Structure 1
Amino acid sequence: MAMETSNIVSATDTSKPSIQDADTQTRAWLEQLVAFDTTSRNSNLALIETVRDSLRRQGVDAVLVHNAERNKANLFATLPAQDGGTQGGIVLSGHTDVVPVDGQNWSSDPFALQEREGRLYGRGACDMKGYIAASLALVPEFLAMPRKKPLHLAFSYDEEVGCAGAPSLLADLRERGVQPEGCVVGEPTGMQVVVAHKGINVFRCRVHGKAAHSSLTPQGCNAIEHAARLICHIRDLADAYRAKGPYDQFFDVPFSTLTTNQIQGGIAVNTIPDACEFSYEFRNLPGMSPQDIQADIQRYVSDQLLPRMRAEFPQARVEIETGPAAPGLEVSEQAAITELVRALTRDTATRKVAYATEAGLFQGIGIPTVVCGPGHIVQAHKPDEYVALDQLAACVGFLRRVGQSL
């Protein structure tokens, strides 16, 4: 969908932006963004390049940071302060990818924005293209504001598959010496302030045994059965954290969790399998070391599982591959960004969530970060995903106040 044919305000529109314009343009942007099928397995370049070209027409340069295959990219753009300054300021951050719609029963085309009863339906409308749309709709206003500090836009790829895109964006910021003072990640929180979330760590495990005819069991080493022992150990760890903690009662799930969520193995019912592969994840409270949790799993493999396997087959082995990971977040209440967002939203409640975001990555390079955006997480990833119009309006008002505060 070419920008020239849209009704989004361009840099040549000299009319003074109004509140109504921003709400209208937010919807127009969201319609465009939803129309791009940026499911994580697909390229996001059409969306990113559309955003880049719109910013360029408004006099804003954007840096694209591509993946190795160059079929995806992050975007980072700075709206300078009134004096041209580009250091400091606040980042408005969102991810451009969405989860699949495969097998879901939608009432309308998930990639064509539909309004019904005060809600805008479409894949990503809530998670989290609504926030990106509001940020882009306000660019003309941001540029016209007499700001003493810059505003930055950071739009990433592949957040939904383990925050895989943002690290290269942040590495580029470090390399270029860009150091914002704070960041607002616009994941759907109902426009309430979230100050902490868990970390996520994903692993792929491959168990290698020895194949044999199932009538000759002693001649084989059953990879599925030994994988099951490890899976049960992972569940035992999860049960221990649930029963004994540590706990943080501000979280909706107040303890660390571990789960095995994918498994495959075996070729026939009468063949002892020589291989089994499964994936597991854990979501740790911010104060817990993910390395310590994984070390417990590795000790079980080396001290208990492998000796049992090699008693049956000396060449048996277990491989554990580290997958996507994102650190937990716990921002200080005394951080300037926390105080600012609480003041602008008038929200003083302590809120911590079990899902992960890119906020911990920003905080990890010294950018204090909070999470606050339109819509609710319970509306995300489902068929008929939506964001309410009043949530988008609240987001526009909030982001406008962020700009005015600078």
Structure 2
Amino acid sequence: MILTQPEQLLLDLLAIPSVSGTEQAIIDRVAETLGGTFRVERIPVDETRSNLLCTVGSPRVLLAAHLDTVPGTVEIRVDDENIHGRGACDNKGAAAAMITAALQAVSEDATDFGLLFTVGEETNFDGAIAVQKFFADNDIVPERIVIGEPTGLQIVTAQRGITSVEILCDGTAEHSSTDHPDSAIHKLAALLAAFLKNTFPETTYHVGLIQGGTADNVVAAHATATLLFRSMNPELETLIHRALADTNVPHTIKTLQTVPPVDHTAPSFARNAVAYFTEMAFLKNSFVLGPGSITDAHTASERVSRRELNEAVAQYRAFLPKRD
């Protein structure tokens, strides 16, 4: 089977495991690959891990991709339509296409652009946070950053924010033989049954965790539920509190995390908002574009379309400077 340059490069990257927290081997490999052509700079993340910034000239445009993956093994293989493997679409396909596009640009004497490779995207975004600080400390503000993620080669300009809340119900710890148990779990179940009937504009949500009780023969004194919301709605927290109050179940609520939505829509692009979260939240002047489908990401059958992988090279190249 004849493979194109980005296809072979993707297979090489897939052969290097890079679960979040263990990315240094793939960072080292990319640094070695690009070191003879680009100025390579490591941006420290912690004692053992770093991001990679590879530039020619003074970069006005960056192509950015995270190189970490979620855990799990997916057999690396190629068929007529797809390349399979953990990270094929999320996110090593984009990385391979970006590297290919950047090398083409250098061969055409283009300058003033770069590649950015990050770690930790699948966990706590510590790589992107380190880049954000590094750029601020060094007054680096690229005019455009193209972030690779599986978007089916559609430009994404906005993303929902994340709000996580914990709901607590209290009861009375007592013997389970009581006729009218004052159970925190019963209260929480009633609250959730009522609350989950609600829908909120531009919002998806789910109950991610439920905890409560100490033993099956003890009425639960405490019970908690953690809910995660993805939303573009600036009034979301007010709506959540109102809907919880309408359940008429006594409770307390604590906000665990709030990350605001992002909208980088510019006049040159139509607004396209997605429910998932990306490094666009940390990088100014950025939007998202890449091969593959988000529905294949993190799955046991993760794959990327060979057609989209090769088309991505041309799309990324179009955003890079032309020869003067």
Q: What range is the shorter-chain TM-score in?
A: 0.7 to 0.9
Q: CA deviation at 1:30?
A: 1.6
Point out where structure 1 has 5 or more consecutive residues left out of the alignment: 1-19, 102-108, 246-254, 310-317, 339-348
Cα pair 1:214 1:270 within 8 Å, conserved? yes
Matched, 1:354 2:275: yes
Match of 1:135 among 98, 113, 125: 98
Point out where structure 2 has 5 or more consecutive residues left out of the alignment: none
Which letter maps to 2:143?
E
Which letter maps to 1:227?
L
SS in 2 for 1:184: strand
Q: CA distance change for structure 1 residues 155 and 319 in 2, over 3 Å: closer, same or farther?
A: farther
Q: Which residue of 2 aligns with 1:169?
A: 131
Matched, 1:279 2:279: no
SS in 1 for 2:227: strand
Matched, 1:222 2:183: yes
Matched, 1:387 2:304: yes
Match of 1:180 among 118, 142, 146: 142
Q: CA deviation at 1:225?
A: 3.0
Q: CA distance change for structure 1 residues 269 and 256 in 2, over 3 Å: closer, same or farther?
A: same
More strand, by proportion: 2
Q: CA deviation at 1:375?
A: 1.2
Which letter maps to 2:68?
D
Q: CA deviation at 1:350?
A: 5.6
Q: CA distance change for structure 1 residues 188 and 37 in 2, over 3 Å: closer, same or farther?
A: same
Where does 1:22-101 land on structure 2 (aligned, <5 Å)? Answer: 24-40=4-20, 42-67=21-46, 70-73=47-50, 75-81=51-57, 85-86=58-59, 89-101=60-72
Match of 1:294 among 196, 216, 237: 237
Q: CA deviation at 1:144?
A: 3.4
CA distance in 2, matches of 1:190, 1:163: 23
Q: Which residue of 1 aligns with 2:77?
A: 114
SS in 2 for 1:123: coil
Q: CA distance change for structure 1 residues 100 and 209 in 2, over 3 Å: closer, same or farther?
A: farther
Question: Which range moved further: 204-213 or 268-277?
Answer: 204-213
Where does 1:312-391 land on structure 2 (aligned, <5 Å)? Answer: 318=252, 320=254, 322-323=256-257, 325=259, 327-334=261-268, 338=269, 351-362=272-283, 367-391=284-308
CA distance in 2, matches of 1:170, 1:194: 20
Q: Which residue of 2 aligns with 1:342?
A: none
Q: CA distance change for structure 1 residues 100 and 307 in 2, over 3 Å: closer, same or farther?
A: same
SS in 1 for 2:314: helix
Which letter maps to 2:79?
R
Matched, 1:396 2:313: yes
Q: CA deviation at 1:358?
A: 1.9
Cα pair 1:227 1:276 within 8 Å, conserved? yes
Cα pair 2:265 2:271 within 8 Å, conserved? no
CA distance in 1, matches of 2:120, 2:253: 25
Cα pair 2:45 2:126 within 8 Å, conserved? no
Match of 2:87 among 107, 111, 124: 124
CA RMSD of superposed structures (Å): 3.2
CA distance in 2, matches of 1:203, 1:53: 44
The TM-score normalised by the length of structure 1 is: 0.68
Q: CA deviation at 1:393?
A: 0.8
Which letter maps to 1:173?
F
Q: Which residue of 2 aligns with 1:235?
A: 196
Identity over aligned pairs, percent: 26
Q: CA distance change for structure 1 residues 164 and 199 in 2, over 3 Å: closer, same or farther?
A: farther
CA distance in 2, matches of 1:209, 1:155: 50
SS in 2 for 1:390: helix
Which letter maps to 1:195?
T
Which letter maps to 2:261?
P
Which letter maps to 1:56?
G
- What is the aligned residue count? 322
CA distance in 2, matches of 1:51, 1:329: 31
Q: Deviations over 1:268-322 (max 9, x none)?
A: 322222343432111112xx32xx4224545777x7899946xxxxxxxx46352
Cα pair 2:43 2:134 within 8 Å, conserved? no
Question: Which range moved further: 273-282 or 175-184?
Answer: 273-282
Cα pair 2:163 2:257 within 8 Å, conserved? yes
SS in 2 for 1:131: helix
More helix, by proportion: 1
Q: CA distance change for structure 1 residues 29 and 325 in 2, over 3 Å: closer, same or farther?
A: farther
Cα pair 2:212 2:220 within 8 Å, conserved? yes
CA distance in 1, matches of 2:271, 2:238: 32
CA distance in 1, matches of 2:256, 2:49: 22
Q: CA distance change for structure 1 residues 235 and 196 in 2, over 3 Å: closer, same or farther?
A: same
